[in-house]
Amino acid sequence: MIDTDVLVIGAGPTGLFSVHQLGIIGLKSEVVDNLDKIGGQCIELYPDKPIYDIPAIPECTGEELTKNLIEQIKPFKTNFHLSDRVEEVKKERSKWLVKTSKGKEFKVSSIIIAGGVGSFEPRKFQLKEIEKFEGKEIFYSVKDKNIFKNKTISIFGGGDSALDWAIELSTNSKIYLIHRRDEFRGAQASVDKVKELSKQGKIEILTQYQLNSIEGDSKIKSINIKHDNGNIKKIETNYILGFFGLIMKLGPIVNWGLNLDKKHIPVNTENFETNQKGIFAIGDICIYPGKLKLILSGFHEGALAARGCFKYARPDEKLRFEFTTTSKNVQSRLGIKKK
Ligand SMILES: Cc1cc2nc3c(=O)[nH]c(=O)nc-3n(C[C@H](O)[C@H](O)[C@H](O)COP(=O)(O)OP(=O)(O)OC[C@H]3O[C@@H](n4cnc5c(N)ncnc54)[C@H](O)[C@@H]3O)c2cc1C
């Protein structure tokens, strides 16, 4: 059981900045995110695209913004629990007990939900027999590429992830790149590279095919793929990788006793608390009159929610307003040495 002041759900830009705002007022936090990396939409949806409306930063990419936010919270040595999803939230006396899909448990005085548009989940194959192989020989992301060494891998998809992994894994594995359309959607340089590797016999490209069935009991033996013209082709394969993009689901948040307005959580604008005392919601997931789904709004919401968390974590203390420029307390929390 991890006992801390605040659990932040979501490692997108607003969750990250709320960690900073909690840290400078002396509160400890842990962060859980469903994705395998930090950064939310900025990293998952537009890492290379420039953002032009972050105050005082004329231009930065989604990845640069994320890197800077991570740098800014370094002094707080925050633990991130990635590839894990908050499933259950329940009240026990004055504390909130939280459970994740990997079985981690947290005991906290407040929760900040910075869940964006909900948890991103991979779009999956629509075959019944998929389930028994999922997580063993069928994957929607690559966590450890070493398991694919000297194996045969069937990669499905036509976007950047499918192309990039086909290129990367072709160095020491046999690769089939299978796409339901004739054209690939990924970056032209990757499409060209895949075609070149296909000429060298390192990747076999099969277009206008979809997965039709899987053969094998405890392990995958082979797959049958079906062409648009109805023809079936059998391929012996060890692993299947599917890269069909992500879907966004509000997920378990709907079960936590929170008021919901369509897919958003209504909050007050004084401290962004929800209808549940001690649970706050910030960023894209919250809703209030005049809400703008922008990163800069999420930063402001995180600052006020952090102060809202203080009274639950330190009920006997009064929070003093302090500037980072002049407060010795804040500067020592940030590890700033006297000049
Ligand atoms: C293409 C594009 C361009 C954009 N350009 C701009 C721009 O120029 N300027 C701007 O201000 N904004 C822009 N935005 C919007 C901006 O990215 C969002 O406003 C911002 O990402 C919201 O941040 P967030 O932290 O609230 O949520 P997100 O970034 O969505 O992060 C939420 C995180 O919570 C996680 N999560 C959700 N539920 C759970 C759960 N139960 N357990 C664990 N984890 C969970 C998700 O996996 C996700 O990582 C753009 C968005 C897109 C898609």
Distance (Å) from CA 283 to ligand 1 centroid: 8
Distance (Å) from CA 248 to ligand 1 centroid: 11
Distance (Å) from CA 298 to ligand 1 centroid: 10
Tell me which H or E stretch contains 161.
helix 160-169
Q: Please state which of the ranges 154-163, 187-196, 251-260 shows the lowest mean pLDDT.
A: 251-260
pLDDT confidence of 339, banded at 50, 70, 90? low
Q: What percent of the chain has pLDDT over 90?
A: 86
Q: What is the pLDDT of residues 39-77, one digit of tens each?
A: 999 998 888 889 999 999 999 999 999 999 999 999 999
Ligand 1 atom index nearest CA of 85: 42
Ligand 1 in reach of 57 Cβ (< 6 A): no
Cβ(253)–Cβ(87) below 8 Å: no
Higher pLDDT, 141 or 216: 216
Distance (Å) from CA 12 to ligand 1 centroid: 5
CA distance 111 to 94: 12
Angle subtended by helix axes 160-169 and 188-199, to nearest 10: 40
